[in-house]
Amino acid sequence: MQPTGEAHLGNYLGALHRWVELQERFDCLWCIVDDHAITAGGDPRDLPKKVVDLAVSFLAVGLDPEKSILFVQSDVSEHTELAWLFNAVTPMGDLERMTQYKDKAQRFESVPVGILNYPVLQAADILLYRADAVPVGEDQRQHLELTREIARKWNAGYGDFFPEPEAIIGDEGRILGLDGNAKMSKSLGNTVDIMAEPDEVWARVRTAVTDPQRLRKSDPGRPELCNVHSLHRHFSSPDVVEDVAHQCRGALRGCVECKHILSDSIVTTFAPMRERAAELRAQPERIRDILDDGATRARVLARETMAVVRQRMGLDWRKGWKR
């Protein structure tokens, strides 16, 4: 996950709550991808704090460094080394066909190479640990297929070594932002930080778009088409979800009341996580130690992979030394 600061509702619903479950069943590595983040530009002085904020979010929601490996991408230099070597087998045309590349390239007058090469580094992030499965959203399925293709091409040229990882797709579907139009994103301002205080949560939820055809409280609503009601299904109890739908259809409760209930449900859901986050922030050395330990453990795996990769690609020149 890219370090954009504290995790938000979209991160939690689309990824983090599933990650907590996955660590109970698999050997997992969770990486804060700061090398990826620099392709978006921004003030480099802000990046370290964003990394720490996301690390706090990881730990607060329940990712456990005793059960999985949590680390920062730039602490394991083998990520970028393997990405460079994968450039040797990745066709330019495959990168230019990536939908996200086409979308992002439109924002630049001169497109940075990192925007084009982003999926190659992503493939290295995955294959460096010879992962056989990756939890991704639908928007990343194309990148994962490219990762599988890179593994196939490298194996064909240098011998079978890398697995072709499968996608683990959640059943949440696309999580729309509070605007009801786009995917939740901090850059679009259509989400809520999961560590936000109650008044901040309400300030954001009150802006949420509801059923566009319900103009007055006396108009019957259509909860199945209301984005606020779709969020209720993630945060409110089944009884509350059913009651809100009933009251909405019968014009017995207005949209503002519905938003108040959603805001309270969000606050209640994340209350234990806000407490854990506060405890972690009071112990910054603990966060540092967890990330340092995670990087140390990740390097062991990464170096094992790179020893094989370098040897097979002819980069272990000492083996050809003649006295």
- Residue 288 belongs to a domain with what CATH number? 3.40.50.620
Whether residues 202 and 155 fall in one domain:
no
**Does a structural domain hold residue 147?**
yes
The H or E element spanning position 114 is helix 113-127
Contacts of 75 (CB under 8 A, 6+ apart): 291, 292, 295, 298
More confident residue, 273 or 210: 273
Provide the pLDDT for residue 323.
54
Whether residues 76 and 35 fall in one domain:
yes
Give the span between the Cα atoms of 120 and 114, in whole angstroms: 9
Provide the pLDDT for residue 76.
98
Whether residues 256 and 300 fall in one domain:
no
Q: Is 183 a catalytic residue?
A: yes
Provide the pLDDT for residue 226.
80
Q: Which of 41-45, 173-177, 280-284 has the highest mean pLDDT?
A: 280-284
Residue 40, token pair as written in the block: 């978006």
Whether residues 22 and 52 fall in one domain:
yes
Q: Write down the catalytic residue from 49, 67, 153, 186.
A: 186
Q: Quick one: residue 23, left, alpha or beta (phi over 0 = left, psi -120 to 50 = alpha)?
A: alpha
Report pLDDT digits (tens) over 82-111.
999 999 999 999 999 988 888 888 888 888
Share of the chain above pLDDT 70, in %: 93
Mean pLDDT over 66-70 rounds to 97
CATH number of the domain bearing residue 211: 1.10.240.10
**Does a structural domain hold residue 71?**
yes
Provide the pLDDT for residue 252.
63
Is a pLDDT exceeding 80 seen at residue 63? yes
**Does a structural domain hold residue 3?**
no
Is a pLDDT exceeding 80 seen at residue 272? yes
Whether residues 36 and 170 fall in one domain:
yes
CA distances from 105 to 94, 96, 98, 210 (A): 15, 10, 11, 32
Provide the pLDDT for residue 190.
87
Whether residues 148 and 292 fall in one domain:
yes
Whether residues 15 and 150 fall in one domain:
yes
Q: Is 186 a catalytic residue?
A: yes
Residue range(s) defining the domain that contains residue 216: 198-278
Q: Write down the catalytic residue from 49, 50, 102, 104.
A: 104
**Does a structural domain hold residue 185?**
no
Residue 282, token pair as written in the block: 């009071």
Whether residues 60 and 206 fall in one domain:
no
**Does a structural domain hold residue 180?**
no
Whether residues 93 and 166 fall in one domain:
yes
224 pLDDT band, cuts 50/70/90, is: confident
More confident residue, 303 or 105: 303
Report whether 63 contacts 80 (CB < 8 A): no
Is a pLDDT exceeding 70 seen at residue 173? no
The predicted model scores a pTM of 0.90
Min mean pLDDT across 6-20, 46-60, 132-146, 167-181 is at: 167-181
More confident residue, 322 or 224: 224
Number of domains in the chain: 2
Mean pLDDT over 104-130 rounds to 93
Across the strands, what pairs with 31? 71
Whether residues 234 and 144 fall in one domain:
no
Whether residues 313 and 248 fall in one domain:
no
Share of the chain above pLDDT 90, in %: 65
Whether residues 297 and 272 fall in one domain:
no
**Does a structural domain hold residue 262?**
yes
Provide the pLDDT for residue 210.
81
Q: Write down the catalytic residue from 183, 217, 259, 319.
A: 183
Axis crossing angle, helix 47-61 with helix 255-281, rounded to the nearest 10: 100
Mean pLDDT over 221-237 rounds to 81
301 pLDDT band, cuts 50/70/90, is: very high
